Amino acid sequence: MQTDTFKDKVVIITGGANGIGRCIADEFRNQGAIVYVIDKQEGEHYVGDISKKEVLEAFASEVLSKHNKVDVIVNNALPLMKGIDECSYEEFQYALSVGVTAPFYLVKLFMSHLADGASIINISSSRDRMSQPQTESYTAAKGGIAALTHALAVSLAGRARVNSISPGWIDTAYAIYEGPDATQQPAGRVGNPKDIANMVLFLCSDKAGFITGENICIDGGMTKQMIYHGDCGWKLEK
């Protein structure tokens, strides 16, 4: 549904070519926003690798050559996921560059151009509080951006509200799951990108004007579910 809630607001989204980022971009456009996407995938957006300082500076310069103010920044780009067995030093640094350093530096580049009522959203992950084996690079980056969120919220008090969202299992193809994949989740289903986009737009709206420095986990309740072998039908087969 198209509305004018964000009419003529300038919105920056990293990693906006696919999945959650694309959905967020589409939803902002549907509400009248002027959206700038940067992604390393080729397409009708600014193409570049946000791990590189010069790319971020060039992207910011292009946006600011057209607009004096920025209303929303969504740091969504996906860090590399590799584990301690195979992840090299360089790969781990790359994951942190994309997942933590780039969000920090992008905010710094736009900081003096934030509009009144500006909002910054950092996309973290439920992996910022729980893990599977061999996910160290991704998990470290997501934990970092979650902590960066409350630091920025305090530093930018009075200039911007800063919040993070931690998605759980989100199927970016909008697949419908049945059986244990769905029923294991207290909400009864796997998530989709609109579950995240809806929260992003809410947090960027005036309705969320008293919310800053917060992390909101959108995972269908999975991280709140206590699991023990033999309890409530859960069984460890090893």
Please tell me which residue in 46, 138, 174, 228 is annotated as part of the active site: 138
What would you report as the CA-atom Rg of the chain, rounded to the nearest whole angstrom? Answer: 18
Q: In what order do the strands lie in the sheet with 46-47?
A: 46-47, 34-39, 10-14, 70-75, 114-123, 160-167, 215-218
- In whole angstroms, how far apart are CA 37 and each of 14, 40, 221? 6, 10, 30
- Is 36 catalytic? The answer is no
Q: Could you give the CA distance from residue 232 to residue 206 in angstroms, rounded to a whole number?
A: 42
- The SS3 assignment for 70 reads strand
Q: Could you give the CA distance from residue 160 to residue 90 in angstroms, rounded to a whole number?
A: 33
State the catalytic residues: 138
